[in-house]
């Protein structure tokens, strides 16, 4: 069995692969002050709840965009799982070419998403990850990652709206169809949600014009589903895309 972990700014997500199938997943809030023992306890609990013995975990692969927690996290894998984790970096065989001015700047999450999408959906793709930040990545048909764009995530936008205004309340992110609203919360929800979809649709349109190709658009990330369900500009929503990318990287380097 393979344990894969994606460490993001908001959440750490885990999956267990048995051969080519994901048999269990787990989501944990990212918190800088957790100790290795705390991570170890939580990972062990996840394995136990999935009826997996730590002895059955053959390897662990990790992608991270949060350097501050890596020391504790890696030590937890070593101590509680007894494995030396594979850390995603440009030094591994990634199976795609990186066309970027400084490849060290590219977040591991962006690369993993690109690999997962390319090996499952082919080339000429636009991959959008709706996470803490929303990232747009272009991967051409020859397996080259060309970079893309980054915009604030939907939750960041919501937090900015309420934290920078004295009288606007915190709101839940939810689909709303009308722009003419007669209460403040609905007005905020409409502006936030429909405005965000409008931004995403415009960027997709501009990507296709700039690249001059009819790109297949793949979405992933925690808020990707709700966005995908409310626009025709996204072709596929794949909640497991990052896990698929991690599994592919592992297979290429095993």
* 83 and 183 housed in the same domain: no
* 137 and 232 housed in the same domain: yes
Tell me whether residue 63 is exposed, middle or buried, using C-beta atoms within 10 angstroms of its C-beta: 0 to 12, 13 to 18, 19 or more.
Answer: buried
Q: Answer yes or no: is 200 within a domain.
A: yes
2-7: strand order across its sheet: 21-29, 11-18, 2-7, 59-64, 86-87
Range of the domain at 82: 2-87
* 74 and 134 housed in the same domain: no
pLDDT, tens digit, 9 for 90 and up, residues 139-198: 999 999 999 999 999 999 999 999 999 889 999 999 999 999 999 999 999 999 999 999
Looking at residues 212-219, what average pLDDT do you find? 96
Q: Answer yes or no: is 9 within a domain.
A: yes
Nearest to 144 by CA among 111, 190, 181, 97: 97
pLDDT, tens digit, 9 for 90 and up, residues 6-53: 999 999 999 999 999 999 999 999 998 999 999 999 999 999 999 999
* 213 and 148 housed in the same domain: yes
Looking at residues 88-102, what average pLDDT do you find? 94
Q: Answer yes or no: is 101 within a domain.
A: no
The total number of structural domains in the chain stands at: 2
* 43 and 151 housed in the same domain: no
Residues known to be catalytic:
109
Q: What is the CATH number of the domain that holds 175?
A: 3.30.420.40
Angle (CA) 182-188-194 rounded to 5° is: 105
pTM of the model: 0.93
């Amino acid at each position: 069995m393979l344990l894969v972990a994606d460490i993001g700014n908001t959440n750490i997500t885990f999956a267990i692969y048995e051969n080519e199938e994901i048999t269990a997943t787990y989501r944990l809030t990212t918190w800088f002050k957790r100790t290795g023992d705390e991570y170890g306890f939580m990972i062990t609990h996840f394995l136990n709840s999935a009826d997996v013995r730590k002895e059955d975990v053959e390897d662990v692969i990790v992608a991270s965009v949060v350097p501050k927690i890596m020391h504790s996290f890696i030590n937890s894998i070593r101590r509680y799982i007894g494995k030396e984790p594979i850390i995603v970096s440009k030094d591994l065989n990634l199976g795609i070419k990186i066309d970027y001015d400084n490849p060290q700047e590219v977040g591991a999450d962006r690369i993993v998403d690109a690999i997962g999408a390319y090996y499952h959906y082919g080339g000429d793709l636009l991959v959008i990850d709706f996470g803490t930040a929303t990232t747009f990545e272009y991967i051409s048909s020859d397996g080259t990652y060309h970079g893309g764009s980054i915009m604030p995530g939907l939750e960041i936008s919501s937090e900015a709206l309420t934290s920078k205004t004295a009288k606007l309340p915190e709101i839940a992110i939810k689909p709303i169809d009308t722009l003419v609203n007669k209460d403040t919360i609905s007005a905020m929800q409409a502006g936030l949600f429909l405005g965000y979809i409008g931004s995403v649709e415009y960027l997709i349109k501009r990507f296709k014009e700039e690249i001059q190709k009819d790109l297949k658009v793949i979405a992933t990330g925690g808020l990707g589903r709700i966005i995908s369900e409310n626009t025709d500009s996204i072709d596929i929503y794949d909640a497991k895309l990052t896990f698929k990318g991690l599994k592919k990287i592992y297979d290429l380097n095993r």
